[in-house]
Structure 1
Amino acid sequence: MAGRARFIGANIYRGSSYGSRHPLRVPRVSTVMDLARALGWLPDDLYLPSPRAKPAALHGFHTPEYIAALVAAETTQEVSEEVRERHHLGSHSNPVFPEMYRRPATGVGGALLAGELLREGGVIHLPGGGTHHGLPDRANGFCYLNDPVFAILSLKAHGAKRVAYVDIDAHHCDGVEAAFANDPDTLLVSTHEENRWPRTGALGDKGAGQVFNLPIPSGLGDDAMALARDAVILPAVAAFRPDAVVLQCGADALLEDPQSRLAMSGHAHLGVLRGLRPLSPRFLVLGGGGYNPWSVGRLWTAVWGELSGRDLDVPLPMRARAVLAGLDWPGQRRVKAPPEAWLSTLLDAPRPGDLPDLLRERVERLQSRLLAWV
Structure 2
Amino acid sequence: MTATARFIGSEIYRGSSYGAWHPLRVPRVSTVMDLARALGWLPPDVYLRSPRARPAALHGFHTPEYVAALIAAEATQQVGPEIRARHHLGTPANPVFAEMFRRPATGAGGALLAGELLRHGGRLHLPGGGTHHGLPDRANGFCYLNDPVLAIGSLRAHGARRIAYVDIDAHHCDGVEAGFAHDPDTLIVSTHEENRWPRTGAVEDEGAGQVFNLPLPSGAGDDVMALARDRVILPAVAMFRPDAIVLQCGADALLEDPQSRLAMSGHAHLGVLRALLPLAPRFLLLGGGGYNPWSVGRLWTAAWGVLSGREIPDHLPVPAQAVLRGLEWHKQRRAVSPPENWLTTLLDPPRPGEIPDVFRDRVATLEARLLAWV
TM-score, normalised by the number of residues in structure 1:
0.99
1:192 to partner: Cα distance:
0.1
Listed as ranges, the matches of 1:1-374 within 5 Å are: 3-332=3-332, 336-374=336-374
Unaligned runs of 5+ in 1: none
**Contact residue 2 and residue 122 of structure 1 kept, 8 A:** no
CA distance in 2, matches of 1:30, 1:214: 31
* Counterpart contact for 2:8–2:125, Cα < 8 Å: yes
How many Å separate the matches in 1 of 2:335 and 2:260? 16
CA gap 1:144/1:350 in 2 versus in 1, 3 angstroms? same
Describe the superposition over 1:216-252 as per-residue Cα deviations: whole angstroms up to 9, x where unpaired: 0100100000000000000000000000000000000
Contact 1:21/1:331 (8 A) holds in 2: no
2 CA distance for matches of 1:273 and 1:322? 27
Please list every run of 5 or more consecutive structure 2 residues that lacks an aligned counterpart in the other structure: none
- Most deviating of 333-342 and 29-38: 333-342
**Amino-acid identity (%):** 79
Please give the per-residue CA displacement for 1:89-116, whole angstroms capped at 9, x wherever unaligned. 0000000000000000000000000010
TM-superposition CA deviations, 1:331-354 (whole Å, max 9, x none): 447873100000000000000000
Q: Distance in 1 between matches of 2:350 and 2:139?
A: 35
Deviation at 1:33, TM superposition (A): 0.1
8 A contact 1:133–1:143 mirrored in 2: yes
CA drift at 1:2: 9.2
* Equivalent-residue separation in structure 2 for 1:147 and 1:332 (angstroms): 31
SS class of match (2:247): strand
Aligned equivalents of 1:333 and 1:267: distance in 2?
Answer: 31
SS of residue matched to 2:285: strand
Measure how far apart 1:310 and its partner are.
1.2
Contact preservation (8 Å) 1:20, 1:330? no
- 3-state SS of paired residue (2:190): strand
Structure 2 counterpart SS, 1:119: coil
Question: 1: CA distance between counterparts of 2:336 and 2:92?
Answer: 26
Specify the code of the residue in structure 2 equivalent to 1:46.
V
Q: Measure the CA separation in 2 of the matches of 1:334 and 1:291.
A: 16
Q: Does the CA contact (< 8 Å) of 1:302 and 1:312 recur in 2? A: yes
Q: State how far apart, in whole Å, the 1-side matches of 2:332 and 2:112 are.
A: 35
Please provide the CA RMSD for this pair.
1.2
Distance in 2, matches of 1:141 and 1:302, equals 26
Contact map agreement 2:94 2:144 (CA 8 A) in 1: yes
Query: SS at 1:166's partner residue?
Result: strand
Aligned length: 374
Distance 1:18 1:228 in 2: 33
Compared with structure 1, are the counterparts of its residues 2 and 303 closer, same or farther at alpha carbon in structure 2 (3 Å cutoff)? closer
8 Å contact from structure 2 (residues 2, 307) kept in 1: no
Contact between 1:248 and 1:285, CA under 8 Å: does it hold in 2? yes
Residue pair 2:328, 2:336 contacting (<8 A) in 1 also? no
Shift of 1:313: 2.7
> Would you say the 8 A contact 1:188–1:210 is kept in 2?
yes
What stretches of structure 1 move > 2 A for 4+ residues in a row? 330-336
1:262 counterpart letter in structure 2: L
Secondary structure, aligned partner of 2:125: strand
Q: Deviations along 1:38-68, whole A, 9 cap, x unmatched?
A: 1111000000000000001011100000000
Indicate the SS of the match to 2:117: helix
Identify the range of structure 1 (106-115 vs 305-314) with the bigger mean alpha-carbon deviation: 305-314
Structure 1: distance between partners of 2:353 and 2:72: 47
